[in-house]
Amino acid sequence: MAAWRYVGTLDDLWEGEMRTVNVGAVDVLLCNPDGEVFAYEDRCPHLANPLSQGVLRDGFLTCAAHEWVFDARTGRGVNPASACLRRYPVRLAGDRIYVSGGQVE
């Protein structure tokens, strides 16, 4: 079972913001679309562009390279719908954010 890693506080990730943290050997994109924190591999499933170079707006994450769009709350593709981000578990302890290296199934 993967360990939880401390990756920062909610003060580091305001609503509407995203940022990358390293969890083990993986760059993980933290995003806070509307007050809840989600974590995804910072790698677009299309051609591996870092999603952190994209835009988070109105609950959607858009890749900067070719504008694939994902639901920031689920990681599911919006355009194209067949795409899906690799998601990681997030846990809050007060305002402290922890991410597990174990992928959400």
Binding interface with ligand FES (CB under 6 A): 44, 46-47, 49, 63, 65-66, 68
Which of 10/78 has CB closer to ligand FES? Answer: 78
Exposure of 34 in the CB half-sphere (CA atoms within 13 A) = 9
Q: Indicate the helix (H) or strand (E) that contains 80.
A: none
Tell me the closest approach of the beta carbon of residue 65 to ligand FES, in angstroms: 4
Exposure of 2 in the CB half-sphere (CA atoms within 13 A) = 17
8 Å CB contact between 90 and 40: no
Tell me the closest approach of the beta carbon of residue 78 to ligand FES, in angstroms: 12
Which of 20/49 has CB closer to ligand FES? Answer: 49
